């Protein structure tokens, strides 16, 4: 079965750039999405089709996808960006999520 691998945790200082990776076999040949989930809340779509942002998502969130790695970049990270982040892609007709990355802003 297809697997997406994320680092369990990433730390960043306020105002700096956070980078979260998602690795999967030939992931660049598929579209990747990213979700943000804060404690006790539902996931929120923040990046789709590799790099597109839904309406209302700040420009500091950006995405890319090439080769075996999709990347979520948060520029000028703010304390309110502290959350769990999940990547997702499709394997045939099955949705696959990465294990999630806890972003700590300190």
Partner 1 sequence: EVQLVESGGGLVQRGGSLRLSCAGSGFAFNSYYMTWVRQAPGGGLEWVANINQDGSEKLYVDSVKGRFSISRDNAKNSLFLQMSGLRADDTAVYFCARESPYCSGDKCYLPGSFDIWGQGTMVAVSS
Q: How many CB atoms lie within 10 A of CB 102?
A: 15
Q: Which helix (H) or strand (E) holds 103?
A: strand 101-105
Site stretch for partner 1 (CB under 8 A), options 18-26, 28-36, 63-71, 72-80: 28-36
Angle at the Cα of 50 (from 49 to 55), degrees rounded to 5? 60
**Residue 76 and residue 70 in contact, taking contact as beta carbons nearer than 8 Å:** no
Q: How many CB atoms lie within 10 A of CB 31?
A: 16
Taking CB under 8 A as the criterion, the residue among 5, 31, 64, 68 binding partner 1 is 31
Does 57 help bind partner 1 (rule: CB under 8 A)?
no
Angle at the Cα of 7 (from 27 to 35), degrees rounded to 5? 65
Taking CB under 8 A as the criterion, the residue among 2, 7, 23, 48 binding partner 1 is 48
Site stretch for partner 1 (CB under 8 A), options 9-17, 20-28, 36-44, 61-69: 36-44
Nearer to partner 1, 95 or 106 (CB): 95
Does 90 help bind partner 1 (rule: CB under 8 A)?
yes
Does 88 help bind partner 1 (rule: CB under 8 A)?
yes
**Residue 34 and residue 87 in contact, taking contact as beta carbons nearer than 8 Å:** yes
Residue numbers at the binding site for partner 1 (CB under 8 A):
31, 33, 35, 37, 42-45, 48-49, 54, 86, 88, 90, 93-100
């Amino acid at each position: 079965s297809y697997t997406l691998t994320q680092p369990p945790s990433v730390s960043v200082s306020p105002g700096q750039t956070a980078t979260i990776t998602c690795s999967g076999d030939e992931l660049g040949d598929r579209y990747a999405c990213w979700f943000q989930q804060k404690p006790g809340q539902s996931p929120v779509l923040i990046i789709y089709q590799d790099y597109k942002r839904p309406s209302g998502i700040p420009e500091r969130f950006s995405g890319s996808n090439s080769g075996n790695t999709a990347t979520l970049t948060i520029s000028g990270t703010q304390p309110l960006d502290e959350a769990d982040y999940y990547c997702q892609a499709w394997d045939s007709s099955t949705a696959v999520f990465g294990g999630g990355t806890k972003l700590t802003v300190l």
